[in-house]
Structure 1
């Protein structure tokens, strides 16, 4: 059954990946109308998240952001598929990178780096990093249940040479790279909500106290990796700009959870400027109000 679904869907994805961008965005507009006005995909979740994050905004502003978000979400979804049919030159034109030389500079000093990214603007096209960087690029991802689509996702995300690491194997693979003296750049989205049972640190994000992921910070401290905040902006439809900002070159000297909090605060500043480009369908605030009253922050 899984193979049948794949065989039926793949030809459609292949055709989409070969469409000119002008046609791609006409298709995106149609998809937006279908998801927002007809199906209402996760509209309640998005609306609730926006009201929680922006209590000062009235219904008209919330609706404007909501509609703009759905339009952007459809763009990103089709841009992911389009990656299969893009050349390195097209990617460089549409996904600008500024300050990325700091990663090459760190690599020249035998320092590996970790990119702290959020689900903002275009995080998928970050996988084209390998085209312009000296160290090998890796990214952590969640395995897809359908093995055929899982392989397809690996192929799409690895189009420009980035190697994907599944979540369960990432810690050991990174430890092996460090032990073998290999320099690398690791990219991962660090803004999702952790399982409540595994929550180790809480902070305010968009005005709401929630648990945050701290695994990337722990990895930086354990292996002396340089944490970098990856700021992505949407310049216009189909064009993005990424800027790299070193959080610290001495991760072991930063108090516990300081790196993670720096990332979340930096991401919040970006979101507040253009909230329509954040992925509001995620249940990022589902654990709000669930912080144990007597909880002691864990360090492991």
Structure 2
């Protein structure tokens, strides 16, 4: 009998063992590691420090330079904690994660489930976005999936996919989104999309003002909601205290509303995406240090011929 092929090269095995060993440490110990990561990123490597400052200055023109730099440092501390929390998904028990992730209004999700409707959950790189998917799998009996872009590195693709699925969630490659929705339609499930990804001109995005700068947003949520008559929820998440998160849903226009939208105005053509952007802006202003400011969110520009 032939030996199954390794999912990644043999020289990644020591790294896999190291990461798993770290994941089995208590979170309190991992937060000590997070402190070291924070100091390294913020003061030694200064990882994308100029990008962070530029993003914050544009997003909060009313704030002083002192305030901007303070938010930047607070962001790096938050980011370091998120990194070790994501790693902890490799070993955290279902009971511990369920205790640390609280859904404040789960009835907005279970209501459509009772009608056998699909729910599109629109999230962002706010709070701990990776804990949302696993937390939802525990809260809603494994009826959650998340769309992701596969990584080129075979080891990290395998490792991250294992993190995302070990507690019962489905990890759905971007190109498999339609197939997943068709396979599970009328089953009362939710599919999560990180809708704040930077869409370029070639993606035919919806352009709108986002934190004082124009940004392009993918419009796939509009098309999917219409095609599958989905309910749509905005997923807001914030750190309540170290290692604990509150997740709150906000109802957005659903598939029927998107299908009936007027074509006379761009914002009206994309009611779901427009509502998502405004919810996200409000959450960012409430907890600015918890957004992923290293992300080059505004790198694309609307073509001048539009």
| Aligned partners of 1:107 and 1:134 also within 8 Å | no
Q: Which moved more, 1:197-206 or 1:266-275?
A: 197-206
Q: Which moved more, 1:23-32 or 1:135-144?
A: 135-144
> Within 5 A, what are the aligned runs for 1:187-198?
187-198=192-203
Residue of structure 1 in register with 2:191 after alignment: 186
Residue of structure 2 in register with 1:261 after alignment: 274
| Aligned partners of 1:137 and 1:186 also within 8 Å | yes
1:271 to 280, 284, 297: 284
Matches of 1:242 and 1:274 in 2, distance apart? 14
Taking structure 1 as the reference length, what is the TM-score of the superposition? 0.92
Match status 1:50 vs 2:56? yes
Residue of structure 2 in register with 1:173 after alignment: 180
| Aligned partners of 1:88 and 1:131 also within 8 Å | yes
Residue of structure 1 in register with 2:143 after alignment: 136
| Aligned partners of 1:104 and 1:134 also within 8 Å | no
Secondary structure at the residue paired with 2:89?
helix
Residue of structure 2 in register with 1:282 after alignment: 295
> Within 5 A, what are the aligned runs for 1:194-273?
194-249=199-254, 250-251=256-257, 252-254=259-261, 255-273=268-286
Q: Which moved more, 1:69-78 or 1:254-263?
A: 254-263
Matches of 1:4 and 1:110 in 2, distance apart? 44
Q: Which moved more, 1:147-156 or 1:4-13?
A: 4-13
Residue of structure 1 in register with 2:303 after alignment: 292
Residue of structure 2 in register with 1:162 after alignment: 169
Matches of 1:217 and 1:53 in 2, distance apart? 26
Taking structure 2 as the reference length, what is the TM-score of the superposition? 0.90
> Within 5 A, what are the aligned runs for 1:58-97?
58-97=64-103
For structure 2, the residue ranges without an aligned partner over 5 or more in a row are 1-7, 262-267
Secondary structure at the residue paired with 2:9?
helix
Supply the RMSD in Å over aligned alpha carbons.
Answer: 1.5
Residue of structure 1 in register with 2:156 after alignment: 149
Shift of 1:162: 0.5
Counting matched residue pairs gives: 290
Q: Which moved more, 1:168-177 or 1:122-131?
A: 168-177
Match status 1:125 vs 2:138? no
> Within 5 A, what are the aligned runs for 1:4-19?
4-19=10-25
Residue of structure 2 in register with 1:32 after alignment: 38
Q: Which 4+ stretches in 1 moved above 4 angstroms?
A: none
Deviations 1:194-221 (A, max 9, x none): 1222133110000111111111221111
| Aligned partners of 1:230 and 1:242 also within 8 Å | yes
Shift of 1:5: 4.5
Matches of 1:177 and 1:109 in 2, distance apart? 14
Shift of 1:135: 6.7
